[in-house]
Amino acid sequence: MPPARSTIREEIRQRKPFRSPQQEAVVALLRTATVVHDYFEKALAPYGLTLQQVNVLRILRGAGPAGLPTLEIGHRMVERTPGVTRLIDRLERKGLVERARSDADRRVVFCRATASGLDLLAQLDDVMDRTDHAAVEALNEAELGQMVELLDRIRAWHR
């Protein structure tokens, strides 16, 4: 049985109406993003990883053995953060990522997922798939498509 629905006003215990439909939509979007983010963090906690760390590992897996420069990893992240170097530091301490300076330009540092990092990520694939499904299971496929299209339009407007 699905959980009882509540409005964003009820959820944040706001007594007054929102100033505009735009404000209500933005508050609902931000609150929903936080709820989904927290849901993923809880699923990843037993593995000692954050959602951002998993995102970095996924990016590096996609890059293959050549790896990527730190700056490029930052551009590809789902959740932008100024602390990409600190994220990579933590992953390196866990033995999941390694770094090497570029021979062509010593200022550039390439990051690669280690074999341990790739193994852990392979274990997490099923966890992430289940969590993806559970995070949006309140919506059917047509609604998911519509949601993605609407979010794409919002992001495109702000580019």
- Give the tens place of pLDDT for each residue, 5-40: 788 888 888 889 899 999 999 999 999 999 999 999
CA separation (Å) from 156 to 7, 129, 150, 152, 159?
Answer: 27, 27, 10, 6, 5
Domain boundaries defined on the chain? 37-130
**Whether the predicted pLDDT of 78 surpasses 60:** yes
| E-assigned strand segments in the chain | 68-69, 97-101, 109-113
> Which overall architecture, per CATH, does domain 37-130 show?
Orthogonal Bundle (1.10)
- H/E element, 80: none
Residue 19: Cβ within 10 Å count: 8
Q: What is residue 81's predicted lDDT score, i.e. its pLDDT?
A: 81
Q: How much is the CA Rg of the chain, to the nearest whole Å?
A: 19
What average pLDDT does the segment 43-60 reach? 96
Its pTM stands at 0.87
The Cα angle at residue 74 between residues 69 and 80, in degrees rounded to 5: 175
